[in-house]
Amino acid sequence: MKPDEPHGHSHDHHPHHAHAHAHEHTHAHAHGHSHDHPHDHSHLSEQEVRVRALQSLLTAKGYIDPEAIDRIVQTYETDVGPRNGARVVAKAWSEPAFADWLARDATAAIASLGYHGRQGEHMVALFNQPGQHNVVVCTLCSCYPWPVLGLPPVWYKSAPYRSRVVMDPRSVLADFGLVLPDTTEVRVWDSTAEVRYLVIPERPAGTQAWDQAALASLVTRDSMIGTGLARPAHTVAKPSGARA
Protein backbone atom coordinates (compact mmCIF):
# COMPACT_ATOMS: atom_id res chain seq x y z
CA MET A 1 0.00 0.00 0.00
CA LYS A 2 1.50 3.26 -1.08
CA PRO A 3 0.97 6.40 0.91
CA ASP A 4 -0.99 8.05 -1.85
CA GLU A 5 -3.48 5.31 -2.34
CA PRO A 6 -7.06 6.13 -1.49
CA HIS A 7 -8.18 5.63 2.03
CA GLY A 8 -11.18 3.39 1.81
CA HIS A 9 -13.53 3.51 4.71
CA SER A 10 -16.10 0.86 4.15
CA HIS A 11 -16.67 -0.93 7.37
CA ASP A 12 -19.98 -2.33 8.46
CA HIS A 13 -22.52 0.19 9.43
CA HIS A 14 -23.75 0.21 12.99
CA PRO A 15 -26.90 2.29 12.89
CA HIS A 16 -26.91 2.97 16.60
CA HIS A 17 -23.68 4.90 16.24
CA ALA A 18 -24.94 7.27 13.65
CA HIS A 19 -26.40 9.90 15.89
CA ALA A 20 -23.62 9.83 18.43
CA HIS A 21 -20.96 11.36 16.25
CA ALA A 22 -23.11 13.53 14.06
CA HIS A 23 -21.51 16.70 15.40
CA GLU A 24 -18.07 15.39 14.55
CA HIS A 25 -18.70 15.28 10.85
CA THR A 26 -16.72 18.37 9.99
CA HIS A 27 -13.64 16.21 9.97
CA ALA A 28 -15.26 13.68 7.71
CA HIS A 29 -16.22 16.34 5.21
CA ALA A 30 -12.80 17.86 5.19
CA HIS A 31 -11.19 14.59 4.29
CA GLY A 32 -13.83 13.31 1.97
CA HIS A 33 -14.87 10.36 4.06
CA SER A 34 -18.33 9.08 3.37
CA HIS A 35 -20.88 10.00 5.97
CA ASP A 36 -22.58 6.79 6.58
CA HIS A 37 -19.51 4.88 7.57
CA PRO A 38 -19.51 4.13 11.21
CA HIS A 39 -15.84 3.35 11.22
CA ASP A 40 -15.26 6.64 12.84
CA HIS A 41 -11.96 5.86 14.44
CA SER A 42 -11.22 9.55 14.87
CA HIS A 43 -14.80 10.48 15.57
CA LEU A 44 -16.68 9.89 18.76
CA SER A 45 -18.56 6.66 19.05
CA GLU A 46 -21.66 6.51 21.17
CA GLN A 47 -19.61 4.83 23.84
CA GLU A 48 -16.99 7.60 23.74
CA VAL A 49 -19.67 10.26 23.97
CA ARG A 50 -21.07 8.50 27.02
CA VAL A 51 -17.63 8.26 28.58
CA ARG A 52 -17.00 11.95 28.07
CA ALA A 53 -20.39 12.90 29.44
CA LEU A 54 -19.82 10.74 32.48
CA GLN A 55 -16.33 12.16 33.01
CA SER A 56 -17.65 15.72 32.76
CA LEU A 57 -20.39 15.01 35.24
CA LEU A 58 -18.13 13.29 37.75
CA THR A 59 -15.51 16.02 37.42
CA ALA A 60 -18.10 18.76 37.90
CA LYS A 61 -19.30 17.06 41.04
CA GLY A 62 -15.75 16.77 42.30
CA TYR A 63 -15.65 12.99 42.37
CA ILE A 64 -12.74 12.54 39.99
CA ASP A 65 -9.60 14.37 38.96
CA PRO A 66 -9.25 14.77 35.18
CA GLU A 67 -5.49 14.71 35.52
CA ALA A 68 -5.69 11.30 37.14
CA ILE A 69 -7.75 10.10 34.19
CA ASP A 70 -5.15 11.49 31.79
CA ARG A 71 -2.45 9.59 33.63
CA ILE A 72 -4.42 6.37 33.33
CA VAL A 73 -4.95 6.92 29.62
CA GLN A 74 -1.26 7.64 29.21
CA THR A 75 -0.50 4.37 30.93
CA TYR A 76 -2.58 2.55 28.36
CA GLU A 77 -0.87 4.44 25.55
CA THR A 78 2.66 3.72 26.63
CA ASP A 79 2.61 0.68 28.88
CA VAL A 80 -0.36 -1.64 28.93
CA GLY A 81 -1.39 -1.52 25.28
CA PRO A 82 2.01 -1.81 23.57
CA ARG A 83 3.04 -4.72 25.83
CA ASN A 84 0.87 -6.98 23.65
CA GLY A 85 2.72 -5.94 20.54
CA ALA A 86 6.03 -6.34 22.34
CA ARG A 87 5.19 -9.98 23.08
CA VAL A 88 4.39 -10.53 19.40
CA VAL A 89 7.75 -9.04 18.40
CA ALA A 90 9.68 -11.03 21.00
CA LYS A 91 8.07 -14.26 19.85
CA ALA A 92 8.89 -13.45 16.23
CA TRP A 93 12.51 -12.79 17.19
CA SER A 94 12.70 -16.10 19.05
CA GLU A 95 10.71 -18.47 16.90
CA PRO A 96 11.37 -18.49 13.14
CA ALA A 97 8.20 -20.49 12.50
CA PHE A 98 6.15 -17.82 14.25
CA ALA A 99 7.95 -15.08 12.31
CA ASP A 100 7.07 -16.88 9.08
CA TRP A 101 3.45 -17.13 10.11
CA LEU A 102 3.46 -13.45 11.07
CA ALA A 103 4.82 -12.55 7.65
CA ARG A 104 2.24 -14.67 5.86
CA ASP A 105 -0.85 -14.03 7.98
CA ALA A 106 -0.26 -11.51 10.73
CA THR A 107 -3.91 -11.42 11.75
CA ALA A 108 -3.98 -15.13 12.55
CA ALA A 109 -0.52 -15.25 14.08
CA ILE A 110 -1.32 -12.33 16.38
CA ALA A 111 -4.75 -13.73 17.26
CA SER A 112 -3.05 -16.96 18.36
CA LEU A 113 -1.65 -14.95 21.27
CA GLY A 114 -5.11 -13.71 22.16
CA TYR A 115 -4.78 -10.26 20.60
CA HIS A 116 -7.65 -9.55 18.27
CA GLY A 117 -10.65 -7.32 17.93
CA ARG A 118 -11.59 -3.91 16.68
CA GLN A 119 -8.95 -2.16 14.55
CA GLY A 120 -6.98 -5.38 14.43
CA GLU A 121 -9.07 -7.39 12.01
CA HIS A 122 -6.60 -7.17 9.14
CA MET A 123 -3.06 -6.97 10.40
CA VAL A 124 0.10 -6.79 8.33
CA ALA A 125 3.54 -7.18 9.91
CA LEU A 126 6.36 -5.09 8.45
CA PHE A 127 9.79 -6.53 9.19
CA ASN A 128 12.62 -4.06 9.44
CA GLN A 129 15.90 -5.36 8.15
CA PRO A 130 19.35 -3.99 7.50
CA GLY A 131 18.99 -1.25 4.91
CA GLN A 132 15.22 -1.10 5.14
CA HIS A 133 13.10 0.69 7.74
CA ASN A 134 9.30 0.81 7.93
CA VAL A 135 7.17 3.54 9.46
CA VAL A 136 3.39 3.67 9.79
CA VAL A 137 0.95 6.55 9.54
CA CYS A 138 -2.72 7.12 8.92
CA THR A 139 -2.70 10.14 6.67
CA LEU A 140 -6.43 10.77 6.92
CA CYS A 141 -7.13 10.21 10.56
CA SER A 142 -5.77 7.90 13.22
CA CYS A 143 -6.15 4.25 12.23
CA TYR A 144 -4.05 2.26 14.68
CA PRO A 145 -3.74 -1.41 15.64
CA TRP A 146 -5.49 -1.27 18.99
CA PRO A 147 -5.20 -4.96 19.95
CA VAL A 148 -1.41 -4.86 19.82
CA LEU A 149 -0.57 -1.22 20.56
CA GLY A 150 -3.43 0.08 22.68
CA LEU A 151 -4.44 3.71 22.26
CA PRO A 152 -2.65 5.89 19.68
CA PRO A 153 -0.39 8.59 21.07
CA VAL A 154 -1.45 12.18 20.54
CA TRP A 155 1.30 12.88 18.00
CA TYR A 156 0.15 9.97 15.83
CA LYS A 157 -3.18 11.74 15.40
CA SER A 158 -1.63 15.15 14.77
CA ALA A 159 -1.80 16.82 11.37
CA PRO A 160 1.95 17.57 11.23
CA TYR A 161 2.94 13.93 11.72
CA ARG A 162 0.33 12.67 9.27
CA SER A 163 1.37 15.01 6.50
CA ARG A 164 5.12 15.33 7.07
CA VAL A 165 5.98 11.68 7.56
CA VAL A 166 4.83 10.98 4.01
CA MET A 167 6.64 13.91 2.41
CA ASP A 168 9.80 13.84 4.47
CA PRO A 169 10.01 10.77 6.67
CA ARG A 170 13.68 11.22 7.50
CA SER A 171 13.23 14.61 9.08
CA VAL A 172 10.25 13.38 11.06
CA LEU A 173 12.23 10.39 12.29
CA ALA A 174 15.04 12.74 13.21
CA ASP A 175 12.56 14.70 15.31
CA PHE A 176 12.01 11.47 17.20
CA GLY A 177 15.75 11.11 17.65
CA LEU A 178 16.05 8.41 15.03
CA VAL A 179 18.68 9.18 12.42
CA LEU A 180 19.04 6.42 9.86
CA PRO A 181 21.96 5.94 7.49
CA ASP A 182 21.47 7.47 4.05
CA THR A 183 21.75 3.99 2.64
CA THR A 184 18.69 2.81 4.57
CA GLU A 185 15.51 2.86 2.58
CA VAL A 186 12.54 4.27 4.51
CA ARG A 187 9.15 2.86 3.61
CA VAL A 188 6.05 4.72 4.78
CA TRP A 189 2.84 2.72 5.09
CA ASP A 190 -0.52 4.43 5.16
CA SER A 191 -3.08 2.65 7.29
CA THR A 192 -6.54 2.27 5.91
CA ALA A 193 -9.91 1.33 7.30
CA GLU A 194 -9.07 -2.24 6.39
CA VAL A 195 -5.41 -2.72 7.14
CA ARG A 196 -3.40 -2.06 10.29
CA TYR A 197 0.35 -2.40 10.38
CA LEU A 198 2.74 -3.59 13.06
CA VAL A 199 6.41 -2.85 12.54
CA ILE A 200 8.72 -5.65 13.69
CA PRO A 201 11.92 -3.85 14.67
CA GLU A 202 15.29 -5.49 14.27
CA ARG A 203 16.43 -7.59 17.19
CA PRO A 204 19.10 -5.78 19.19
CA ALA A 205 22.58 -7.25 19.20
CA GLY A 206 23.76 -9.18 22.21
CA THR A 207 20.42 -10.73 23.06
CA GLN A 208 20.92 -14.24 21.70
CA ALA A 209 20.40 -15.89 25.08
CA TRP A 210 17.49 -13.74 26.21
CA ASP A 211 14.09 -15.27 26.79
CA GLN A 212 10.97 -13.75 25.29
CA ALA A 213 9.95 -11.82 28.39
CA ALA A 214 13.34 -10.16 28.50
CA LEU A 215 13.29 -9.48 24.78
CA ALA A 216 9.83 -7.92 25.05
CA SER A 217 11.23 -5.39 27.52
CA LEU A 218 13.35 -4.01 24.68
CA VAL A 219 10.39 -3.41 22.39
CA THR A 220 9.03 0.11 22.65
CA ARG A 221 5.75 1.37 21.31
CA ASP A 222 7.53 3.72 18.93
CA SER A 223 9.65 0.88 17.57
CA MET A 224 6.42 -0.85 16.52
CA ILE A 225 5.17 2.29 14.75
CA GLY A 226 8.56 2.85 13.17
CA THR A 227 9.41 6.15 14.83
CA GLY A 228 11.99 4.39 16.97
CA LEU A 229 14.14 1.29 17.26
CA ALA A 230 14.11 -1.43 19.86
CA ARG A 231 16.21 -0.52 22.90
CA PRO A 232 19.81 -1.67 22.87
CA ALA A 233 20.45 -4.60 25.19
CA HIS A 234 22.64 -2.61 27.57
CA THR A 235 19.85 -0.12 28.36
CA VAL A 236 17.83 -2.56 30.43
CA ALA A 237 18.85 -4.50 33.48
CA LYS A 238 20.08 -7.85 32.34
CA PRO A 239 17.25 -10.25 33.00
CA SER A 240 17.76 -13.07 35.42
CA GLY A 241 18.56 -16.26 33.60
CA ALA A 242 19.83 -14.46 30.54
CA ARG A 243 23.45 -14.89 29.62
CA ALA A 244 23.86 -11.97 27.27
Does 135 engage in binding with Fe ion (CB under 5 A)? Answer: no
Does 149 engage in binding with Fe ion (CB under 5 A)? Answer: no
Given the residues 45, 141, 191, 223, the one annotated as active site: 141
Catalytic, 138? Answer: yes
- Which of 90, 92, 109, 141 is in the footprint of Fe ion by CB under 5 A? 141
Cβ atoms 213, 236 nearer than 8 A: no
Does 143 engage in binding with Fe ion (CB under 5 A)? Answer: yes
Tell me how far, at minimum, the Cβ of 162 lies from Fe ion, in Å. Answer: 9
- Nearest CB to Fe ion, comparing residues 40 and 222: 40
Segment lying near Fe ion (by CB under 5 A), choices 100-108, 118-126, 140-148, 213-221:
140-148
Catalytic, 163? Answer: no
Catalytic, 223? Answer: no
Does 225 engage in binding with Fe ion (CB under 5 A)? Answer: no
Catalytic, 171? Answer: no
First and final C-alpha spacing in the chain: 38
Given the residues 10, 56, 94, 138, the one annotated as active site: 138
Does 123 engage in binding with Fe ion (CB under 5 A)? Answer: no
Does 102 engage in binding with Fe ion (CB under 5 A)? Answer: no
Does 138 engage in binding with Fe ion (CB under 5 A)? Answer: yes
> Could you list the residues that contact Fe ion (CB under 5 A)?
138, 141, 143
Residues acting as catalytic residues: 138, 141-143
